[in-house]
Amino acid sequence: MIYLDYSATTPVDARVLDAMKPYFSDSFGNPSSVHRYGQQAEAAVDAARETVARILNCRPDEIIFTSCGSESDNLAIRGAAYAMREKNGARWILASRAEHPAVTKTLLQLEKYDGFQIEWLDVNEQGMVTPEVVSRAICEETALVSVMYANNEIGTINPIRDIAEICRARQILFHTDAVQAAAYLSLDVQELGVDMMSLGAHKFYGPKGVGVLYVRKGTPLVPHLTGGGQEFGLRAGTQNVPYIVGFAEALRLTHEEREQRAAHVQPLRDKIIGTVLETIPNSRLTGDMNIRLPHHASFVFKGVDGNLLLTLLDAAGFACSSGSACKTGNPEPSEVMNAIGLEREWGLGSLRVTLGMGTTAEDVESFLAVLPGIVERARLLNHG
């Protein structure tokens, strides 16, 4: 079996696992306890926080550990929405049409149950939110703007610095979901100019079930998980010490090895994109040709059922994805396919191929050798 779904998740790096292990058994204390066991656990969480802060170029007390990228998105959006409404009555939230469900569903709930108004920002055909679109929509009533750093389904990278600058000039809070971007792009929050940024460790060879929300000092935020005073009162619950240690170690290694990892995957990705577009009739690249994550290739095939294509690929020994993993099983084109303006007969046939440290040139060769035949079969079965 060949794994080509690194945007869905990555295996835990052996070095990360080694760093985590002592905190399951030997150093098992609760970081809030006063005694030495507690102190040891607290020291591990503090060290992890400092490592993450160094890489994000921020203060350690601006790093909030959470249980996943989705929770970070929830905390940022709910927390800022409630806080801004309390502060100045703002009820308007701007977000792109191509966001992950962790953002869109949170916003839909705020609209349904809390009276917020959401303005969905159009993306261009490459799935990008342009600064002009944000400029036009932003106003004094805006409580928050949320635009993802890089798209999970189509790999397009958004102009986050420019969007952040527009928000800053109008003194409007700006959140970015950087869950997909973290494996390959700079996370320097001063350079990016963001107020809040969500991350999840399992996209960069860390464990599942641990995330971070960066919160710029002074950003008003109402916690949504209430209880103890952990994480500066912004996220209650005894910290998951081994996973937090794993998060920091995975991010440290990613930061150190980012360039070599990108240099490994990018030519393989380019080979996939070039060959697919050349050899498969009625195929299109989704997302931007150049401004995209270096490990990410995504396509649509006209008249193909994406889920059937995945099943056939799985049977042939290849693990890929159609849109985001959360969409699998849904017979409608994803919101992202709709947002980039694809007609249904194209949008239903999406395929995402994402590479990683374990991908070899031979893997790519054997994938490309079988893909055209499998797409053809999927097309025939769909029409049969």
Ligand X SMILES: Cc1ncc(COP(=O)(O)O)c(C=O)c1O
Q: Locate tokens 């380019």: which residue?
A: 270
Q: Which residues pair with 161 in a beta bridge?
A: none
The answer to whether 292 touches 127, Cβ cutoff 8 Å, is: no
Cβ neighbours, 10 Å, residue 317: 11
User: Among 96, 146, 156, 180, which residue interacts with ligand X (rule: CB under 6 A)?
Assistant: 180
Kindly tell me which of 76 and 375 has the beta carbon lying closer to ligand X: 76
Handedness of CA 327, 330, 336, 342 (dihedral sign): positive
Q: Is 7 helix (H, G, I), strand (E, B) or coil?
A: coil
C-alpha span between 165 and 227 (Å, rounded): 35
Using CB under 6 A as the binding criterion, the count of chain residues that bind ligand X stands at: 15
- The one among 49, 100, 292, 327 contacting ligand X by CB under 6 A: 100
Query: What letter would DSSP give residue 178?
Result: -
211 binds ligand X, rule: CB under 6 A: yes
**Maximum Cα–Cα distance for the chain, whole Å?**
69
Q: Which x/- pattern over 316-335 shows residues binding ligand X (rule: CB under 6 A)?
A: --------x-----------
Closest CA to 160 of 145, 171, 172: 145
Q: Which of 42-50, 173-181, 255-263, 268-276 is the region at the interface with ligand X (rule: CB under 6 A)?
A: 173-181
- Nearest CA to 66 out of 243, 194, 229 is that of 243
Q: Is 275 in the site for ligand X (CB under 6 A)?
A: no
User: Minimum CB separation from ligand X for residue 333, in Å?
Assistant: 18
Q: Residue 226 Cβ, how far from ligand X at the closest point, in Å?
A: 20
Q: Build a one-symbol-per-residue string for 126-155: x at contacts with ligand X by CB under 6 A, - elsewhere.
A: ----------------------x---x---
Contact flag: residue 200 with ligand X (CB under 6 A): yes
Q: CA dist 170 to 79, 142, 210, Å? A: 20, 10, 33
Q: Based on the shown chain and the rule CB under 6 A, indicate whether residue 163 belongs to the binding site for ligand X.
A: no
Pairing label, strands 296-301, 283-285: antiparallel
78 part of the interface to ligand X, by CB under 6 A: no
Binding segment toward ligand X, per CB under 6 A, in 105-113, 176-184, 251-259, 362-370 = 176-184
Q: Which residues lie near ligand X (CB under 6 A)?
A: 68-70, 73, 100, 102, 148, 152, 177, 179-180, 200, 202, 211, 324
